[in-house]
Amino acid sequence: MLPRIPQARQLLEQRFAALYADLGQTRLDGWLAQLPQQLTRTCFDTPHGKREMWLETLLALPPLVPSKRDFSAARVMLGQAADCDDATRARLQQLLEVFIPWRKGPFELFGIHIDTEWRSDWKWARVAPHLDDLDGRLVLDVGCGSGYHLWRMLGAGAQLVLGVDPSLLFLMQFQAVKTYAPEAPTHFLPLRSEDLPDFGGTGFDTVFSMGVLYHRRSPLYHLQELHAALRQGGQLVLETLVVDGDVRTLLMPEGRYGKMRNVWFIPSVPLLLLWLRRLGFVDVRCVDVARTTVAEQRATAWMRFESLADFLDPADAGRTQEGYPAPVRALVTATRG
């Protein structure tokens, strides 16, 4: 097995080379002075027990050619059932299962439906009507998970879509899908938003941060990172947990929230909008508020651990197990002034 590892590493390096080539064609090319070192450090130099097994799995994916791709449908689709025989499909499914848990999707690959924990297409349906036209835009998705929304952004016409997320598993899931669209101008960077450069007002046209703010110990720093990544006049699309209340309302859970250990701040909508205005965003608007349901987030064959139903109080679905208000998410749009 081990002799194949340099080959597998090469595969990722090829994918990053395609990223550098795409980035080099844009006004964001100054990032190339530091990006290769950043990616080598996070991708190869940081110890991770499963990296080699995952790389080996990527390398083993069957070299199929999709007769159809659809990035605008609810299930991001690459390849139809007729593009491969049953034995190859069974092998592909076995390899894709190595990357369980699949949380963000759904995907359909050569007739295999990856039924993910989240119906991320529902989130996209809430977001899409409020976007400035993505046609020809440079787009960044901070905390992109498996990259499901990256494909939907590409389907909406973006010129180049970059996702950043520190999870190596999500990098591998993205790369597994990308095996069947290697030339697509969408790329996954295994980085944190803290690693993003300040583009000095000439950055991305649209920056998304969905489901990240409450994971940050310093939410205002996170909003500043998003501001620094945007060009002047660019659109921020922010989605995060909120609680009911006025501009003085902020929930900081004592310990876990919905069994999650890493939830720090959940503001009210008015407070969230104030944070954004204070940091220099204009035209700040809350365009949607939605309670997360057990139909949208649930355990499936592709995510076999506990899910939302297990995080809520069995006697009161309006509360988490810890007694906090059950998850409600707001969607906010704003412009870098």
Q: Identify which range of 1-9, 88-96, 141-149, 287-295 contacts ligand SAM by CB under 6 A.
A: 141-149
Q: Identify which range of 142-150, 293-301, 305-313, 318-326 contacts ligand SAM by CB under 6 A.
A: 142-150
127 part of the interface to ligand SAM, by CB under 6 A: no
**CA dist 142 → 11, 149, 228, 230, 313 (Å):** 24, 11, 13, 12, 31
CB atoms closer than 10 angstroms to residue 57: 20
Nearest CA-CA partner of 8 in 48, 44, 49 = 44
145 part of the interface to ligand SAM, by CB under 6 A: yes
121 part of the interface to ligand SAM, by CB under 6 A: no
Shortest reach from residue 239's CB to ligand SAM, in Å: 6
Nearest CA-CA partner of 317 in 288, 299, 334, 292 = 292
Instruction: Give 43's DSSP letter.
Output: I
144 part of the interface to ligand SAM, by CB under 6 A: yes
Question: With respect to ligand SAM, which residue has the nearer C-beta, 15 or 123?
Answer: 123
Cβ atoms 61, 91 nearer than 8 A: no
Binder among 57, 179, 193, 300 for ligand SAM (CB under 6 A): 193
Cβ atoms 175, 165 nearer than 8 A: no
Question: With respect to ligand SAM, which residue has the nearer C-beta, 88 or 167?
Answer: 167
Which tokens in the block code for residue 166? Answer: 């520190």
* One-letter identity of residue 26: T
Strand order in the sheet with 186-189: 186-189, 160-164, 138-142, 204-210, 230-241, 328-336, 281-291
212 part of the interface to ligand SAM, by CB under 6 A: yes
Place of tokens 């299962």: 97
Shortest reach from residue 85's CB to ligand SAM, in Å: 34
Shortest reach from residue 148's CB to ligand SAM, in Å: 7
Q: Rounded to 10 degrees, what is the CA torsion of 200, 203, 209, 213?
A: -10
Interaction mask 152-191, ligand SAM, x per CB under 6 A = ------------xxxx--x---------------------
298 part of the interface to ligand SAM, by CB under 6 A: no
Strands 76-78 and 107-109: parallel
Shortest reach from residue 118's CB to ligand SAM, in Å: 6
**Stretch 80-119 residues interacting with ligand SAM (CB under 6 A):** 104, 118
211 part of the interface to ligand SAM, by CB under 6 A: yes
Which tokens in the block code for residue 17? Answer: 């080379």
Shortest reach from residue 108's CB to ligand SAM, in Å: 18
Question: With respect to ligand SAM, which residue has the nearer C-beta, 79 or 155?
Answer: 155
**Interface residue list for ligand SAM (CB under 6 A):** 104, 118, 120, 123, 142-145, 164-167, 170, 192-194, 210-212, 215
